[in-house]
Amino acid sequence: FPEMLSNPKLVLVQGTLNVVMKQNVTLSCLSEPGSPPVRYTLFKHNQQVSVLSRSDLTPALFTLTIRSASDLGEYKCKAECNNSKGGKYSNSLYFSLIEPISKPVLSSPTSQAKKGQNVTLSCFSENGSLPITYLFFKGTQNISPQKTMQKREAAVIFLFINSLSDFGTYKCKANNSFPNNTKYSNPFNFTLAEERSHSQPLIISLGLILLLLIIGFALAIPFFVIPLYKASE
């Protein structure tokens, strides 16, 4: 019988490999072809978890609850005939933990802009399992296709300030595979930059010249005005 066993296949039939705490998952282990009865043993990190025997060609179903970090990692199963030694091992499956995302931060290198200017907005969640998907809004209307980031980096969009209506309130939202975990950012507003008048530099220059004349006159008093005053006495 041992020679007639094939390497069993370990398959996830309920749940996901990316899990949250207290999540239930079901693994199926089956060796085919194989001659029953067959004993199936599930291992976690090379430690025995459970043993099931099958008297027909139906798979052994192992239901687990992910309760702590020690339940994560590699799982595999072993198939062997009841009256034999040794056995054959399956492929491995790996469970990893999904972490919820933190509130994203919406920011820009500048908070002031003027009409006709290009600006950028970046949205970033510091914590949470990757990938993270970002979407940008102006008011309640989305203003860009969603951006899915595979690395721990911000999503960035480029905007053109074309009119006063572009100075509204912007937001972004972020989510990942953690269930029911969409988070919205802080609001961000661009303010209209004051445009300098063409005459302003001229006024500043004239003011500086006048100030220099006053200082020069004050410095000249001890040398010219006082001696003339004494000479007239």
Decide if 198 is inside a domain. no
Regarding whether 49 and 89 lie in a shared domain, the answer is yes
Regarding whether 56 and 113 lie in a shared domain, the answer is no
Q: Residue 54: CB partners within 8 Å, gap ≥ 6?
A: 36, 37, 38, 40, 60
Regarding whether 74 and 144 lie in a shared domain, the answer is no
Regarding whether 177 and 115 lie in a shared domain, the answer is yes
Number of domains in the chain: 2
Regarding whether 147 and 84 lie in a shared domain, the answer is no
Where a domain ends, among 97, 132, 151? 97
CATH number of the domain bearing residue 22: 2.60.40.10
Where a domain ends, among 47, 79, 97? 97
* pLDDT at residue 1, as a whole number: 41
Decide if 217 is inside a domain. no
Decide if 36 is inside a domain. yes
Regarding whether 138 and 76 lie in a shared domain, the answer is no
Question: Where is pLDDT greater, at 165 or 107?
Answer: 107
Regarding whether 90 and 17 lie in a shared domain, the answer is yes
* pLDDT at residue 210, as a whole number: 79
Work out the average pLDDT over 74-99.
Answer: 89
pLDDT tens for residues 169-178?
999 999 999 9
Neighbours of 185 (CB within 10 A): 22
Regarding whether 87 and 66 lie in a shared domain, the answer is yes
Decide if 197 is inside a domain. no
Question: Where is pLDDT greater, at 141 or 223?
Answer: 141
Residue 94's pLDDT band, with cuts at 50, 70 and 90, is: very high
Residue 165's pLDDT band, with cuts at 50, 70 and 90, is: confident
Decide if 52 is inside a domain. yes
Regarding whether 113 and 187 lie in a shared domain, the answer is yes
Decide if 218 is inside a domain. no
Where a domain ends, among 68, 97, 126? 97
- Residue identified by tokens 């970002």 is 134
Structure tokens at 37: 């009865």
Regarding whether 124 and 81 lie in a shared domain, the answer is no
Distance CA 38, CA 196 (A): 86
Question: Where is pLDDT greater, at 209 or 89?
Answer: 89
Regarding whether 137 and 60 lie in a shared domain, the answer is no
pLDDT tens for residues 3-15?
468 899 999 999 9
Structural domain for 22, as ranges: 9-97
Structure tokens at 179: 């269930």
What percentage of the chain has pLDDT greater than the value 90? 64
Decide if 1 is inside a domain. no
Regarding whether 76 and 53 lie in a shared domain, the answer is yes
pLDDT tens for residues 29-80?
999 876 778 999 999 999 999 999 998 889 999 999 999 989 999 999 999 9
Decide if 127 is inside a domain. yes
DSSP tag of 232: T
Residue 214's pLDDT band, with cuts at 50, 70 and 90, is: confident
* pLDDT at residue 230, as a whole number: 58
Contact 9, 29 (CB under 8 A): yes
- Residue identified by tokens 């937001």 is 171
- Residue identified by tokens 């970046």 is 122
Q: Select, from the ranges 23-27, 199-203, 222-226, the one with the highest average predicted confidence (pLDDT).
A: 23-27
